Structure 1
Amino acid sequence: MTNFPSESRRRFFKDLGYVSIGFTLFSSCLGEEDQIMAERVPYNDTLPGSMRRENHVNAWLQVLEDGNIRVLSGKVELGQGIRIAIRQVAAEELDMDLDKVEIHLAETGVTPNEGYTGASASIQNSAMSVRYAAATARMELLELASKKLDIKVDELLLYNGRVKVRGSNKYLTFPEILEGVQLEREITTPIQLKKKTEYRYVGKAIPRPDIEKMVQAEATYIQDLRFPDMVHARVVRPTGYESKLVQINASGLKAEVSGVLKIVVLGSFVGVIAQREYQAIKAEKHLKKHTQWTTVAPFPETENLFTRIKKIANKPETIRNEGDFETETIHTQIIKSTYTKPYLMHGSMGPACAIAMFNGEVLQVWSHSQGIYPLRDALASMLEMDLDKIHIISVPGAGCYGHSTADDAATDAALLAIEYPKRHVRVQWSRHDEQSWDPYGPAMIIDLAASLDRNGRINSWKSEVWTDSHSTRPNSDAGTILAARYLEKPFQMKSRGFLAGGHRNADPYYRIPHLMLKAHYYDGPLRVSSLRSLGSFANIFAVESFMDELAEKAGKDPLEFRLEHLDDDRGIAVIKKVMELTASLKSKDGEGIGFAFMRYKNTDAYAAVAAHVSVDKENGKVRVLKLWAAVDVGEVINLDGIINQTEGGMIQAASWTLKEQVTFNPHEVTSTDWITYPILRHSEIPEVEVAIIDRPNEPVSGAGEVPMPPTSAAIANAVYRACGTRVYDLPIRIHKK
């Protein structure tokens, strides 16, 4: 691979006269073109958030010299299928054959700056931005062709890279229309969009081409990426978060380990570079034995964690207060329950990896970060470099959703590449470091209290949540990246990150006259950041478990109880769909069926989940036999992708619910491998059935984080029906009760 030029690729394409549009064009017979002129309808609503930075066509699309089209997106592919979904919307609006649409994802200076890929927002932001850019590009191409051909626009037909005069064989290709001129029109409403009843691709279950490569173990991930003459590096980690390097003795290293090229010591950051990967591993182990670090304050004992959280939390903040909870509950019986969730790790299948190369002027980084532009901001701050001197390319990682250690590996590689320039430096984390230094999903406590009226309906509800930050993702604050905290002049985070994610979905999406939500924020002992669905996972586990308790107190069926508290037809529909899916199921002795519902963030997609479980009466072991979900994400772009997202999310949530928990003693994290941090094994994966309710006239919502929270509650409710034990603490261990 050759080095990238210092100027941005976008400027390079502009100089060549390319157009930013973003798909690949297909040829087709002209007779077919006349038959598919789809009707357009005006769009006058708001534009996506991603267009606040980039609102011109050429930021999103390029018409290439051969007539093919390339789409540019700042989002990264995490396994959510964003690449195929964007191809679908782009091909649709430009009336292109799908396999002629090419997607380029996440490269600084080339693709739009769309911040992070997360919060189930890729479809709402990136795919919709591409939709509106493509529709705008279509109109501009027609108008340019109209001038060249001296023909009215309504007498022209645009299809598959050509603009043709109706009723004749006369046409111009996109490159002939442009003649080196950019499509730079500002994207403004109204925008003429294809009528949804005439879609060819959107809403269809179109398979992802990259799945086949994964199954065949082709070189797909950052962990597979290799460059000529590449060198390998490892970082010697401190003994604790606050540890500082006292001394290092490297005198015997080269005698014991061959191939060592350089030892890098920058304050308390210690790295070693070697010719081969195994040499770097051996060198890191040697240096670890010959370094001394300062001791740090101990962690609390695991069993005292939740007691400690309540002691160290700040005074509560009132997030929502409707009606008068305190007055209404004075003379009413209050039902109370407390729920807890432990620290959870991302558990990346492949430990973090990154490659960097510094040519003396430009630092190039290959990373599976979920936010290449924010990562560039953090690196620029740490290194005191100009932004245009740092070039980051996204490469998929064999990893996970959320803020994992990918950015930290990229920071390691950047520091070491600057110290060893003009060679590609590859940093591969170990499994031990991956699980010890992961920015975990925080432990949480949820206290719930509610009262019922004389008709058995909820009259008042109070949620109190104890939570740490739910995002410390990289940004222009260099302290957000791990290695920056150990340099000679260390950086510390200037803020605690995104706290509001902790109370997400803690206020129920039900009709309740008197409702109060309070949040207690604490600064915990372990490093934390964004884990899939943020605080929603713990909050919906609590809320939907409590709904079952309240239904039982009211003497009502748990699903009918939910329905009588809902005014939203879409919420009612997903619950009724799950009722339909499970109507014929009969449970045996020791088995139970549980249900849960949510609307993600109380504003986005809907999901209702059912779980069928068995509980072994001898040893208390819980096994999930089958999961069902009914999901409504509004307009469906790729049906196959939404089903895949839902299935995967439910299985991951089942693993969190039944098995996963970060453990530690006063000195260190102890869950550092798959034995001490067990996850759901392949033989334990339940059957999963997913029904998608397509609403093409509703706005698009993402599906990535929607199935996680209700799955946990559905399993917990099923356990109660199987054995009579209420679940208040995760992971589920029946012997605790």
Structure 2
Amino acid sequence: MRRRDVLKGGALLLAFSLAPQVGAKAQGDPGGEGEAAGGARPGSLSQTPRLDSWIRVEADGRITVFTGKAELGQGIRTALWQVAVEELHADPALVTLQTADTSLTPDEGYTAGSQSMAESGTAIRHAGAQVRELLVAAASRRLGLDAGLLRAEYGRILAPDGRSLGFGDVAGDANTAQPAAPRSRLTDPAAFRIIGQSVPRRDLPAKLAGAPAYVQDLRLPGMLHARLVRPPQPRCRLLGVDVAATERMPGIEAVVREGSFLAVVARSEYEAIRGREQLAHDARWSDAPLLPDPGRIHDWLRQTDADVSVIHDETGLEAPAGEWIAATFRRPYQMHGSIGPSCAVAHLENGSLTVWSHTQGVSPDRAAIAELVGLDPSQVRVIHQDGSGCYGHNGADDAAGDAALIASRLSGRPVRVQWMREDEHVFEPYGSAMVGQVGARLSSDGRITQWRYDVWSTPHSTRPGTAGNLLAGRLLDPPRAPEPPADIPQPTGGGDRNAIPGYALPNLRVVKHFVPQMPLRVSAMRGLGAFHNVFSIESFMDELALRAEADPVAFRLAHLQDPRARAVVERAAGEFGWTAWRADAPMRGRGFAYARYKLLEAYCAVALEVEVERDTGEIRIGRVVAAVDAGEPVNPDGIRNQIEGGIVQSASWTLLESVRFSADGLASRDWATYPILRFGQAPASIAVHVVDRPGDPFLGTGEAAQGPAAAAIANAVADASGARIRDLPLRADRITAALAG
């Protein structure tokens, strides 16, 4: 879609509320990794209330729906489209969804925290209902009939006498250049035509057919190709470089050096790679600062100065009775490990810069890029284009900054920046290492009478922000300073996300130890601290059940009061056949875990079985059964996709993934030094059961399965082998060592 096409007449008045809201989108605020936006109006309407910022009806009946959220592979291009079609009562063939573009769509911050449906879906639903009513009202004036006698159906307004008008016929008479009302008359779920249906994903056909679909596929006329020459390790500075040999090479257009930022630009991708090799050979770098001892990184976390805060405290006056039991759980640094390395395209023309990126936040990225290249944000446009999936802050924003900086030095020529594999592995922001220390008191009748949980973590969001949060900004001379690291407050939390257990526990105290220092660059990774915290809590719940000689599922139900939580636990256990399950061979076991993501979003329970190879420590995951309550399901198959993908990703994190480093620097530079789950290691089967909640609010699903899946695997391994492994990942050598011990 071109901007001039959107601004053509013959449609509802277009007056988008597109002012940057950088302050409102800071780390931990709504639209970032924090709680869904509040306010008098529902969802993101509280921040962008104008109806015409969300819905546009053309004179020919075509409808464009706008969202500031990005399609990351989670299926919102389909689900948000379904919501719009349903509430508008539109012809599906005439409805198009426009995703994140700073010149076209509302500023909804980041696509993060499983908030797209709660924020954008809710906004589109209410805006769609109100626009439909405005269209009906316009038709009533045209037809001379009371609006209550008319109904909207399939893109037309129908009268009892047989007359009808298309949406486009009355579009010019419906004033949508007004704020949305706080309340809308939504469609009764009993009348739904498309919400609740497993509509095929709209983003998949091109991807499955190998057609151009990703930012990596984007080719513009006259486009140049660039490669970065990175330092040998993060935090090295460029001491000097001889560019003469590189500039003499065939196809080389330019060498760009800005402080320690070094890039080669060529007419073809192959020539850019050759130029990168030569330039890297001729560059001299400073030594990198020493890193902490990797074998003691978790001790370092606990001993380093931290901001300590009590996030939950319900300590009673009377001393609780029972035996005190404690355990410590550890998570390593882990990377997004995007299969396709990051990429971006940028074009500076007539003083305006356009950047195509697979960033998760086009508006925050625009602010950071504008600062980086010295332009006003109004001169920068960031367009989201699908890229390799990551679910978190990988190299996408940095690649966008790289492309913008190079293109700003080569005005008039589009520049494509493609990272190399080692760029992605070494320079992306990782998920933080963490420590969880949990203790509980267990009464003689098998009840938890006291609970204490402490969690240590470095930051979980250093997204841009500012130019200093982009890798290119840090390499300038002088380097741009990143924003001071800030933790994300409750009720959603960062490192302490899901640190408060979702059970009814007396004498409950939870303490967060936020460590601002970052020896390794870290930022948002799918689920943030919830993955580790749910793994710790749910593993420990199994240990307590074993100590109480109770069935793990029954033990959880005995401490659960939320009826929706109980329903999900019972559904997963029932579909798995938990009660009747018996190990049919030695070293086979079953595991169970449950959590409500952020205590605000989707409920998810996972039951699974594993087999452990005693001699090698290899773990094979067999049958997996999950149940999820995501509120009103817009696209049940899309929800299943998210839970299935989350379970597979969690299996990789749980069994294999750990960033390797030494005091001298990072060592995980490829798939050999950072192994991930292979096809042969994936679960034998996954069945996901979606609980239908018509009429209930949307609950975010994309990050609901990772924590429960990790704990269920660990619990199944303990059940199969008798060995409880509390340090992630559950590598084969740890299994064999535990069995030998």
In structure 1, distance between residues paired with 2:338 and 2:588: 32
- Indicate how the Cα distance of structure 1 residues 597 and 20 shifts in structure 2: closer, same or farther if over 3 A, else same: farther
Aligned counterparts of 1:439 and 1:716: Cα–Cα separation in 2: 27
2-structure distance, mates of 1:469, 1:736: 32
Deviation of the 1:182 alpha carbon: 4.8
Structure 2: unaligned runs, 5 residues or longer: 17-37
1:517 maps to 510
Task: Report what 1:502 is aligned to.
Answer: 495
One-letter code aligned to 2:195: V
> Take 1:165 and 1:664, find their aligned partners in 2: how far apart are those partners?
71
**Is 2:337 the partner of 1:347?**
yes
- 2:476 corresponds to: 487
Q: 1:597–1:710: 8 Å Cα contact kept in structure 2? A: yes
Q: Quick one: which of 384, 390, 393 aligns to 2:383?
A: 393
In structure 2, distance between residues paired with 1:189 and 1:517: 36
Q: Aligned AA for 1:608? A: A
CA contact (8 A) 2:78 2:203 kept: no
1:659 aligned to 2:652?
Answer: no
Query: In structure 2, how many angstroms separate the alpha carbons of the residues matched to 1:361 and 1:239?
Result: 35
Confirm or deny: 8 A CA contact 2:288 2:665 kept in the other structure: no
Report deviation, 1:46. 5.4
d(CA) in 2 for partners of 1:173, 1:97 = 10
Matches within 5 A, 1:115-154: 115-154=109-148
Equivalent residues of 1:21, 1:134 under 8 A apart: no
Per the alignment, residue 371 of structure 1 pairs with: 361
Q: C-alpha displacement at 1:553, in angstroms?
A: 1.2
Matches within 5 A, 1:237-316: 237-255=230-248, 257-314=249-306, 316=308
The equivalent of 1:32 in structure 2 is none
Is 1:87 the counterpart of 2:72 in the alignment? no
Distance in structure 2 (CA, Å) of the matches to 1:179 and 1:697: 32
Taking structure 1 as reference, are residues 478 and 370 closer, same or farther at Cα in structure 2, changes over 3 Å only? same
Alignment of 1:107-118 (within 5 A): 107-118=101-112
2:224 aligned residue: 231
* Matching of residue 604 in structure 1 with residue 601 in structure 2: yes
Matched with 1:725 is 723
**Is 1:453 matched with 2:443?**
yes
Aligned residue in 2 for 1:323: 315
> 1:417-456 residue pairs with structure 2 within 5 A?
417-456=407-446
572-581 or 337-346: bigger deviation: 572-581
Q: Is the 8 A contact 1:408 1:483 kept in 2?
A: yes
Query: d(CA) in 1 for partners of 2:305 and 2:277?
Result: 39
Question: By how many angstroms is 1:185 displaced?
Answer: 3.2
Task: Give, as a single letter, the amino acid of the residue that structure 2 aligns with 1:724.
Answer: G
Q: Secondary structure at the match of 1:642?
A: helix
Give the letter for the 2:262 counterpart. V
Query: Following TM superposition, by how much is the alpha carbon of 1:21 offset from its aligned partner in structure 2, in angstroms?
Result: 12
What is residue 526 of structure 1 aligned with on the other side?
520
Give the C-alpha shift of residue 176 in structure 1: 2.4
Q: What TM-score results when the alignment is normalised by the length of structure 1?
A: 0.93
CA contact (8 A) 2:57 2:64 kept: yes
Task: Output aligned runs, 1:623-638, within 5 Å.
Answer: 623-638=620-635
* Residue correspondence of structure 1 range 51-200 to structure 2 within 5 A: 51-168=45-162, 170-179=163-172, 182-200=175-193
The answer for the alignment partner of 1:217 in structure 2 is 210
CA contact (8 A) 2:42 2:126 kept: no
Match of 2:678 in 1: 681
Structure 2 counterpart SS, 1:193: coil
Q: Deviations over 1:648-689 (max 9, x none)?
A: 000000010001111012222111111111111112211111
Contact 2:595 2:708 in 1 (8 A): yes
Which amino acid in 2 is paired with 1:607?
Answer: C
Distance in 2 between residues matched to 1:172 and 1:204, nearest whole Å: 28
Q: Is the 8 A contact 2:460 2:494 kept in 1?
A: yes
Q: Which amino acid aligns with 2:572?
A: V
Do the aligned residues in 2 keep the contact of 1:20 with 1:182 (CA within 8 Å)? no
**Given the superposition, is the C-alpha separation of residues 518 and 45 from structure 1 closer, same or farther in structure 2, using an over 3 Å criterion?**
closer
Q: CA deviation at 1:49?
A: 3.7
Aligned counterpart, 2:736: 735
Q: Which amino acid aligns with 2:582?
A: K
CA change 1:51–1:460 in 2 (3 A) is: same
**What whole-Å deviation, never above 9, does each CA across 1:127-184 have from its counterpart, x for those lacking one?**
111110110001111111112222111222222332232222x222223213376522
What's the offset of the Cα at 1:16?
4.9
1:83-127 C-alpha deviation (Å, 9 max, x unpaired): 111111111112123232211101112111100001111011111
Task: In structure 2, give the amino acid aligned to 1:723.
Answer: S
- The answer for the alignment partner of 1:403 in structure 2 is 393
Q: Partner amino acid for 2:468? A: G
Given that 2:59 and 2:171 are in contact with CA atoms closer than 8 Å, whether structure 1 keeps it comes out as no
Amino acid at match of 1:492: A
| Alignment pair present for 1:572 and 2:566 | yes
Secondary structure in 2 matching 1:138 = helix
The one of 442, 451, 457 equivalent to 1:467 is 457
Mean Cα deviation higher: 123-132 or 517-526: 517-526
Choose 290-299 or 572-581, whichever is displaced more. 290-299
Asked if the contact 2:259–2:478 (Cα under 8 Å) also holds between the matched residues in 1, the reply is yes
Give CA-to-partner distance per residue, 1:296-342, whole Å, 9 cap, x none.
Answer: 321123212112222214153212111249x736x753101000011
Give the counterpart letter for 1:146 in structure 2. S
Q: 1:695 aligns with which of 676, 693, 708?
A: 693
Query: Structure 1 stretches (4+) deviating beyond 4 angstroms?
Result: 19-22
Alignment TM-score, normalising by the size of structure 2 = 0.92
Counterpart CA distance in 2 for 1:639 and 1:382 is 42
Partner of 1:586: 582
Equivalent pair of 1:630/1:692 in contact (CA under 8 Å):
yes
CA distance in 2, matches of 1:62, 1:98: 15
Which letter does structure 2 place at the counterpart of 1:586? R
How far, CA to CA, are the matches of 1:363 and 1:697 in structure 2?
44
- Measured against aligned partners, the alpha-carbon deviations of 1:554-603 in whole angstroms (never above 9, x if no partner) come to 11111111000011111111111111112154322110000001011112
* 1:552-571 to 2 correspondences below 5 Å: 552-571=546-565
Cα RMSD between the aligned structures?
2.0
Contact 2:134 2:175 in 1 (8 A): no
2:73 counterpart letter in structure 1: G
SS in 2 for 1:194: coil
Q: How many equivalent residue pairs?
A: 705
Q: Which runs of 5+ in 1 are unaligned?
A: 23-43
- Give identity over the alignment, percent: 40
Q: For residues 454 and 20 of structure 1, what CA distance do their matches in structure 2 show?
A: 68
